[in-house]
Amino acid sequence: MDKKNKKVYIETYGCQMNFSDSEIVASVVTSNNFTIAGSPQEADVIFLNTCSIREHAEKRVINRLRELQHLRAKKPGLLMGVLGCMAGRLKEALLEDEKLGMRIDMVVGPDAYRQLPRLLKDAETGGKAIDVILSAEETYADIGPVRYGAGGVSAFISIMRGCENFCAYCVVPFTRGKERSRNPDSVLSEARQLFDEGYREVTLLGQNVNSYRWQDEHAGSILDFSDLLEMVAGINSRLRVRFATSHPKDISDKLIHTIAKHPNICRSIHLPVQSGSTEVLKRMKRKYTRAQYLSRIQAVKKLLPDCALSTDVIAGYCGETEDEHRETRSLMKEVAFDFAYMFKYSERPGTIAAKLFDDDVPDDVKTRRLKEIIDLQQEISLLSNRRDEGSTCEVLVEGRSKRSEDKMMGRNSRNKVVVFQGKDSKPGDYVWVKITGCTSATLMGTIVDQP
Ligand code: SF4
């Protein structure tokens, strides 16, 4: 395959970590003379970077791969590869054409993207190309991401990989392996470069950023996440800093104080609770109780009263009773999250939950409980946005509003989407907006002078 003219199309599913990984994949292939294709039709190689967090996520990918098979008729040499967590979970099973009823040429796990040039060669010569080995060291620190999808305003920076929390329902520790933190110097130089290139926001990424630890051999000191966050915030006060995701058991007062010290560290913390019942949290092996979670929330509200809080909630986990479901809803009311990601429990093969517990909550009950949680959160989000009406906030402009061409959109420090009249503003600008209206998902307003 004469690579000079060959194109790779990357389609990404799942979490922010996967989108950040796709930028590493783009970097590896473009530094091997491939170019990035804008659509599968124009590609010689199609990569789907996949998610395994729920059964539905995997079904979507399988259906998509089936959908794309017809392109082989037009391009016999076309290669298709599965990357990411599905590759790490299903491994060789993805190469069994008969069983799948379709051909997949490459299977590449989250720690094997450096091997892509070799695997592409193997696949070109008709070999089955697979590498799903997990690494205890790999952080891709020396590979500069190619931000082929980003709008030039906000960018992801992965600071660590893997997770060792082994929450009972989760596949991530099995598909992404042991925790390893990235050299802070490489994180800082990436953030500085982004600022110099005009980016005005970075999101520090990890399955659990609070587990970040770097042993500084020279200084003989250990850098934790608060230290790294402070260093990135120190690059420039016009560079906003966000981070995701935190595990409630590791969110320290030190971290909350660090956020309070730096106005450019955004006032929004994503703290997945998953359930409001201590008994369910025990069965989930989340390593905190309802009371411990609420005490962390109190600490945040005390030191950062203007901080927005978001969370993840699972409805219908193994053995969940109506009372335990009620505890989840009462916790959501008590915290009054500004936003939440809410899903039905989806049993994942190979997880601790699948081994220990029955997936015994009937699907219609899961669906009803999920609806109750979503309806409740929508009310809470609307009240939260109503409270912002009449206030003025600083917005980082990201681009045109999807819904109304004559309007611009951006987000404030609290990670709320703001749509406003502002034709003279451009992506990357900071503008002040007076909030005049809202929905449960969006704030609306007009540009005003800085108060
Ligand atoms: S913290 Fe728990 S839920 Fe999150 S990635 Fe790790 S094991 Fe999964």
**Interatomic CA distance for residues 188 and 194, integer angstroms:** 10
**Interatomic CA distance for residues 314 and 244, integer angstroms:** 18
Q: What angle do CA 224, 229, 233 make, to 5 degrees?
A: 155
Domain coverage including residue 418: 392-448
State the pLDDT at residue 4: 55
- Above 80 in pLDDT, residue 3? no
| Gap from CA of 381 to ligand 1 centroid (Å) | 25
Choosing from 131, 155, 175, the residue where a domain stops is 131
User: 27 in a domain, yes or no?
Assistant: yes
Choosing from 131, 165, 200, the residue where a domain stops is 131
Question: Please, which residues have CB within 8 angstroms of residue 9's CB and are 6 or more apart in sequence?
Answer: 36, 37, 38, 39, 40, 42, 43, 45, 46, 47
CATH of the domain at 426: 2.40.50.140
User: 358 in a domain, yes or no?
Assistant: no
User: 299 in a domain, yes or no?
Assistant: no
- Above 70 in pLDDT, residue 2? no
User: What is the chain's mean pLDDT, rounded?
Assistant: 95
Choosing from 89, 108, 131, the residue where a domain stops is 131
By DSSP bridging, strand 45-50 and strand 7-12 are parallel
* Residues 274, 313 contacting (CB under 8 angstroms): yes
Nearest to 85 by CA among 176, 170, 162: 176
Query: Which pLDDT tens digit goes with each residue over 107-119?
Result: 999 999 999 999 9
Ligand 1, pocket-test mutation among 164, 172, 346, most atoms within 8 A of CB: 172
Residue with the smallest CA separation from ligand 1 atom 2 is: 167
User: 304 in a domain, yes or no?
Assistant: no
State the pLDDT at residue 128: 82
- Above 70 in pLDDT, residue 91? yes
Residue type, 434: K
Residue type, 111: D
Query: Which pLDDT tens digit goes with each residue over 31-77?
Result: 999 999 999 999 999 999 999 999 999 999 999 999 999 999 999 99
Give me the phi and psi of 296, to 5 degrees please. Answer: -70, -40
**Interatomic CA distance for residues 425 and 409, integer angstroms:** 10
| Gap from CA of 379 to ligand 1 centroid (Å) | 28
Model confidence at 184, in pLDDT bands (50, 70, 90)? very high
| Gap from CA of 166 to ligand 1 centroid (Å) | 6
174-193: average pLDDT:
97
187-193: average pLDDT:
98
Cβ of residue 172 lying under 6 Å from some atom of ligand 1: yes
- Residue 77, phi-psi category: left (phi > 0), alpha (psi -120 to 50), beta (remainder): alpha
User: 16 in a domain, yes or no?
Assistant: yes
Query: Which pLDDT tens digit goes with each residue over 247-287?
Result: 999 999 999 999 999 999 999 999 999 999 999 999 999 99
State the pLDDT at residue 155: 96
341-359: average pLDDT:
97
Model confidence at 391, in pLDDT bands (50, 70, 90)? very high
User: 165 in a domain, yes or no?
Assistant: no
| Gap from CA of 178 to ligand 1 centroid (Å) | 12
Is the torsion defined by CA of 410, 416, 419, 425 positive or negative?
A: negative
State the pLDDT at residue 149: 67
State the pLDDT at residue 1: 45
State the pLDDT at residue 187: 98
**Interatomic CA distance for residues 119 and 354, integer angstroms:** 33
User: 322 in a domain, yes or no?
Assistant: no
- Above 70 in pLDDT, residue 150? no
Number of residues that this document lists for the chain: 451
* Residues 383, 376 contacting (CB under 8 angstroms): no
| Gap from CA of 246 to ligand 1 centroid (Å) | 10
**Interatomic CA distance for residues 390 and 34, integer angstroms:** 51
- As for how many domains the chain has, the answer is 2
Ligand 1, pocket-test mutation among 52, 163, 209, 280, most atoms within 8 A of CB: 163
| Gap from CA of 165 to ligand 1 centroid (Å) | 6
Nearest ligand 1 atom to the CA of 208 is 1
Residue with the smallest CA separation from ligand 1 atom 8 is: 170
Considering the chain, what percentage of its residues have pLDDT values greater than 70? 98
User: 277 in a domain, yes or no?
Assistant: no
76-101: average pLDDT:
93
CATH of the domain at 98: 3.40.50.12160
12-30: average pLDDT:
97
